[in-house]
């Protein structure tokens, strides 16, 4: 035992040890002596020891001054004061070691300490709860709001809507049909003979064979569905997605989009079709556009044609978009084959009509100068965002 230690007369029994309060140089602090630390205090003369009353008083002060405005602060308070293993419970455990004559005083102080700690805990809890509520409420209603992000129409939808809008002006109505079709609606009713090579040009994905169900290769199937149900006059436009078994590249995909048109009535002529398509081309590409019809073949039309429009980029002079021809092919068309009318129960000696079909994806590529068809279905937000300001 170092010699400069002054021993006061009273010793305090604390945490299973007899503790001698003494004053010495060095730091001050509260130390709790566990049983296994019994010896160490004897050789720590620079530490001032306190009796139980002193400890309670210092804890009261600590509790009163404790501040917490977050959940973690609250947890720290609990860990220090109110949990099972916290300091107050430890003091209660040590109470039995308090000398008899001090028991009354210390017992009262301990109870007060406990009450104070739990009251403080409740106050802190309330404070933090109220902060949480105010945090979620808008404090300052004059602050600018969060901008509402508005989506953009997909470029393919925009082109489709434009086409629909143009034809609606002259009495065409939108019709739709399923993307999984049976052989009859996609091929047979449209005059594709079994095993005819025309079927090869539209190879597709079969969902089942015998009976055949397949992903439709064109929106011409909607013609059949409408003619089976509706009596002429019929004037419809069928926009939609179609599928083909094709290698995916910058210019072709295994799915793409078409708009189909059909007009059936008495005395419908090829000249009517020509005039309607000229009206469409002018509305779509501008008043100065020219059209030309080239003979072609489709099983469901007789006579059949491909329609070209004069290239709007070079105005017919020739550029790499029109491959220096001055013309761009945009659709197939023709007079509906009488066999098709008969397949749908329409008397071909009374009624006639024309049909046309065009791909949307290449039209959109041309309109917006999109170099790769795949961009339309990659869902890349950087691509789609560029169409935010588009009309229609």
Phi then psi for residue 302, to 5 deg, are -155, 105
Taking the complex as a whole, how short is the minimal distance between the CB of residue 321 and ligand DAH, in angstroms? 21
Under the binding rule (CB under 6 A), the answer on residue 332 touching ligand DAH is yes
Using the structure block, give the residue that is written with the tokens 């739990």.
Answer: 118
Instruction: Specify the residue, 355 or 364, whose C-beta has the smaller distance to ligand DAH.
Output: 355
**Packing angle of the helix pair 52-65, 87-94 (nearest 10 deg):** 160
314 vs 125, 297, 311, 326, CA distance in Å?
Answer: 75, 29, 6, 7
Query: Checking DSSP bridges between strand 291-298 and strand 180-182, what pairing results, if any?
Result: unpaired
Under the binding rule (CB under 6 A), the answer on residue 299 touching ligand DAH is no
How far apart CA 262 and CA 268 sit, in angstroms, is: 11
Among 94, 182, 183, 260, binds ligand DAH (CB under 6 A): 260
Taking the complex as a whole, how short is the minimal distance between the CB of residue 380 and ligand DAH, in angstroms? 28
DSSP letter at 14 equals E
Please count the residues of this chain forming the interface with ligand DAH, following the rule CB under 6 A: 11
Query: Checking DSSP bridges between strand 327-336 and strand 351-359, what pairing results, if any?
Result: antiparallel
Among 236, 311, 333, 370, binds ligand DAH (CB under 6 A): 333
Under the binding rule (CB under 6 A), the answer on residue 330 touching ligand DAH is no
Q: Residue of minimal CB distance from ligand DAH?
A: 357
Among 356, 363, 364, 366, binds ligand DAH (CB under 6 A): 356
Instruction: Specify the residue, 270 or 368, whose C-beta has the smaller distance to ligand DAH.
Output: 270
Taking the complex as a whole, how short is the minimal distance between the CB of residue 356 and ligand DAH, in angstroms? 5
How far apart CA 370 and CA 383 sit, in angstroms, is: 10
CA nearest to 32, candidates 20, 15, 16: 15
Taking the complex as a whole, how short is the minimal distance between the CB of residue 260 and ligand DAH, in angstroms? 5
The contact pattern for ligand DAH, residues 218-257, with x = CB under 6 A and - = no contact, is x-x-------------------------------------
Element containing residue 371 per DSSP (H, E)? none
Residues forming the site for ligand DAH (CB under 6 A):
218, 220, 260, 298, 301, 332-334, 355-357
């Amino acid at each position: 035992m170092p010699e400069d230690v002054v021993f006061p007369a009273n010793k305090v029994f604390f945490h299973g040890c007899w503790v001698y309060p003494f004053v010495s140089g060095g730091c001050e602090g509260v130390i709790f002596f566990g049983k296994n630390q019994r010896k160490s205090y004897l050789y720590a003369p620079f530490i001032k020891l306190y009796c139980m009353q002193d400890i309670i008083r210092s804890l009261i002060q600590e509790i009163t001054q404790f501040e917490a405005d977050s959940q973690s602060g609250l947890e720290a308070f609990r860990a220090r004061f109110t949990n099972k293993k916290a300091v107050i419970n430890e003091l209660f455990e040590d109470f039995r070691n308090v000398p008899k004559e001090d028991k009354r005083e210390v017992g009262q102080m301990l109870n007060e300490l406990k009450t104070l700690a739990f009251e403080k805990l409740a106050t802190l809890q309330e404070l933090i709860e109220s902060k949480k509520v105010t945090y979620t409420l808008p404090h300052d209603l004059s602050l600018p709001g969060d901008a509402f992000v508005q989506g953009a129409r997909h470029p393919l939808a925009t082109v489709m809507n434009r086409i629909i809008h143009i034809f609606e002006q002259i009495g065409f109505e939108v019709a739709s049909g399923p993307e999984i079709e049976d052989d009859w609606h996609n091929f047979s009713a449209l005059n594709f003979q079994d095993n005819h090579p025309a079927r090869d040009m539209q190879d597709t994905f079969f969902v089942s064979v015998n009976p055949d169900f397949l992903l439709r290769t064109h929106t011409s199937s909607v013609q059949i569905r409408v003619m089976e149900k509706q009596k002429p006059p019929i004037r419809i436009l069928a926009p939609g997605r179609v599928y083909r078994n094709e290698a995916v590249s910058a210019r072709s995909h295994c799915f793409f989009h078409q708009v189909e048109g059909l007009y059936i009535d008495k005395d419908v002529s090829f000249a009517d079709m020509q005039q309607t398509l000229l009206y469409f081309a002018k509305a779509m590409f501008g008043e100065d556009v020219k059209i030309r019809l080239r003979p072609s073949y489709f099983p469901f039309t007789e006579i059949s044609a491909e329609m070209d429009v004069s290239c709007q980029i070079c105005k017919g002079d020739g550029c790499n978009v029109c491959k220096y021809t001055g013309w761009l092919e945009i659709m197939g068309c023709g007079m509906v084959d009488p066999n098709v009318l008969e397949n749908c129960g329409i008397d071909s000696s009374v009624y006639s009509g024309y049909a046309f079909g065009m791909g949307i994806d290449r039209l959109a590529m041309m309109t917006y100068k999109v170099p790769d068809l795949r961009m339309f279905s990659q869902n890349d937000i950087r691509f789609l965002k560029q169409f935010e300001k588009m009309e229609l």
